[in-house]
């Protein structure tokens, strides 16, 4: 059986790299989509078996659109986590030299991560909708006075050379992806659980009270995000990653206590984490 895996395209994106490397030992058909919402929708309606979507980046923080979209997709369940090291490189056509680069092309967040080199080269920037599309456009242009900020994966997919390696200002950069599906199966020995908590009422210390439940049970929280309820100004839902699988007694006790307190608790996923190594040239 061939699994159909949706990811954010085009070819050469970090999403494609994460999906390809994670499913390298399985029989899969990777299908690119134009937007992240398209990825989730295709899984939701059954057009795709699974989807790979980014949820958090070391520098940019949580991807709020994805947090909201997962909360609005009741049938979807996060079954795995992929952590991908993000190294930005300056790519060029054959014959490109660093000192000759006058324009740098990429998506806005990638350009923002490489300000030092851009200033050093006194280069102008040109914005694209993804690092992969910038790399593809550069390849098609044939120009040697322009470069694209993208990954080593993109260089290999498009056929560009690496003019300068690891040009990001912050070398500790990772993106966390989730593998989502509709089957809702928790893997054996799950390591983390993602929860949505809708407080029973807005009052002073409500978040502190919720967090205290996990602290009392010696459960570590690795991610906390608040998102507006979109019903009334100043009201929020909370999203938590807990360092415990859904199958663990402590996790079940925490959920039960929160529900007894009157809070609504929804499990968005329970999964193991796969940390990928940096892509080699």
| DSSP strand pairing (236-242 vs 192-198) | antiparallel
Handedness of CA 159, 179, 251, 236 (dihedral sign): positive
Smallest CA-to-CA distance from 77 within 252, 271, 275, 249 is with 271
CATH architecture of the domain formed by 192-274: 2-Layer Sandwich (3.30)
Alpha-helical segments (H) within the chain? 14-22, 36-44, 64-71, 108-112, 115-121, 131-141, 152-158, 206-216, 249-260
How much is the pLDDT for 98? 96
Share of the chain above pLDDT 90, in %: 71
How much is the pLDDT for 7? 95
- Domain 89-164 classification at class level: alpha beta
DSSP assignment letter at 193: E
Q: At residue 64, does pLDDT exceed 60? A: yes
Look at the chain and count its residues: 281
134, two tokens: 């910038």
How much is the pLDDT for 202? 73
DSSP assignment letter at 105: E
Give the bridge partners for 224, in sequence order. 240
156, two tokens: 């290999």
Q: Which of 128-132, 219-223, 258-262 shows the lowest mean pLDDT across its residues?
A: 128-132
pLDDT tens string 9-32? 888 889 999 999 999 988 999 999
Rounded to an integer, the average pLDDT of 146-163 is: 94
What ranges do the domains of the chain cover? Answer: 3-85+173-183, 89-164, 192-274
Handedness of CA 76, 5, 279, 53 (dihedral sign): negative
Instruction: Assign a CATH topology to domain 3-85+173-183.
Output: D-Maltodextrin-Binding Protein; domain 2 (3.40.190)
196, two tokens: 């949505």
Distance CA 10, CA 107 (A): 13
Distance CA 30, CA 33 (A): 10
The mean predicted confidence, pLDDT, of the chain is 92
Q: At residue 278, does pLDDT exceed 90? A: no
Rounded to an integer, the average pLDDT of 217-240 is: 88
Phi-psi region of 153 (alpha: psi -120 to 50; beta: other; left: phi over 0): alpha
Q: How confident is the model at residue 280 (pLDDT cuts 50, 70, 90)?
A: low
Same fold, 3-85+173-183 and 192-274: no
C-alpha to C-alpha distances, 200 to 76, 207, 237, 264, nearest whole angstrom:
24, 11, 10, 7
244, two tokens: 């415990």
Coarse DSSP helix, strand, coil percentages of the chain, rounded to the nearest 5 percent: 30, 35, 35
Q: At residue 46, does pLDDT exceed 70? A: yes
Nearby residues of 135 by Cβ (< 8 Å), 6 or more positions away: 12, 91, 148, 150, 154, 155, 157, 158, 160
Smallest CA-to-CA distance from 97 within 165, 147, 158, 133 is with 147
Q: How confident is the model at residue 281 (pLDDT cuts 50, 70, 90)?
A: low
Given a contact cutoff of 8 angstroms between Cβ atoms, the answer to whether 193 and 270 are in contact is yes
């Amino acid at each position: 059986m061939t699994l159909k895996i949706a990811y954010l395209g085009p070819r050469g994106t970090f999403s494609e790299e994460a999906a390809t490397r994670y499913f390298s030992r399985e029989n899969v058909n990777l299908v690119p989509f134009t937007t992240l919402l398209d990825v989730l929708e295709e899984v939701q309606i059954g057009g795709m078996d699974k989807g790979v979507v980014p949820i958090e980046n070391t520098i940019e923080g949580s991807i709020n659109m994805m947090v909201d979209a997962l909360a609005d997709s009741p049938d979807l369940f996060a079954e795995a986590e992929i952590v991908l090291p993000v190294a930005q490189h300056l790519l060029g056509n054959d014959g490109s030299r660093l000192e000759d680069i006058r324009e740098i092309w990429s998506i806005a967040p990638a350009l923002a991560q490489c300000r030092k080199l851009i200033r050093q080269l006194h280069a102008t920037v040109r914005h694209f909708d993804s690092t992969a599309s910038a790399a593809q456009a550069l390849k098609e242009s044939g120009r040697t006075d322009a470069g694209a900020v993208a990954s080593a994966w993109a260089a290999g997919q498009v056929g560009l050379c690496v003019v300068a390696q690891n040009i990001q200002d912050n070398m500790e950069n990772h993106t966390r992806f989730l593998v989502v599906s509709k089957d809702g199966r928790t893997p054996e020995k799950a390591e983390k659980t993602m929860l949505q908590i809708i407080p029973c009422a807005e009052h002073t210390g409500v978040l502190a009270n919720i967090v205290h439940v996990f602290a009392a049970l010696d459960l570590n929280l690795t991610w906390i995000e608040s998102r507006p309820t979109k019903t009334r100004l100043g009201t929020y839902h909370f999203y938590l990653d807990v360092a415990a699988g859904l199958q663990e007694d402590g996790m079940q006790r925490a959920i039960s206590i929160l529900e007894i307190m009157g809070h609504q608790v929804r499990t968005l996923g329970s999964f193991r984490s796969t940390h990928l190594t940096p892509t080699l040239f």
